[in-house]
Amino acid sequence: MKYHVIYDGNCNLCVTLVQLLENLDKGQQFDYLPMQDETTCANFGITPQDCEMGMILIDASLPERRWQGSDAAEEIGRLLPMGDVFVSAYRAMPGMKWAGDRTYEQVRDNRYSWFGKRSNTYKSAYPVGCNAAQSREI
């Protein structure tokens, strides 16, 4: 199963996290689309205003199934090896989901001032529509 991660390609924090995920996953489960690629985002029915609410995760086999913001981060974590154990524990702790959601919102809204803004949009080695096996051959 494949998932599309739509991220802010101009945000230093976002790019660092995407690069970490790229190194862990090697394009097996996830491919990536910077929200600055408005044309491709529009193909998924995603507007720039949608992107203002945070990262988006789309189930490629069922594109209407989506997560956004902290829910997307949790779902990505859940999909990683052994991630379900940690995400389930996090969700089971009283108040953690609420605190995580508020923390995500603060980071999202202050990401450029706290972590800086890139001068060039980062484009993943595993872009949406890319076959991971082909990417490794390049």
**What are 59's strand-pairing partners?**
3
**What are 67's strand-pairing partners?**
57
Q: Render pLDDT for 10-55 as a digit per residue (tens, 0 to 9).
A: 999 999 999 999 999 999 999 999 999 999 999 999 999 999 999 9
- Other Cβ atoms less than 10 A from the Cβ of 132: the count is 16
Q: Render pLDDT for 106-124 as a digit per residue (tens, 0 to 9).
A: 999 999 999 999 999 999 9
Closest CA to 6 of 52, 58, 62, 83: 58
Helices 83-92 and 96-115 pack at an angle, to 10 degrees, of 110
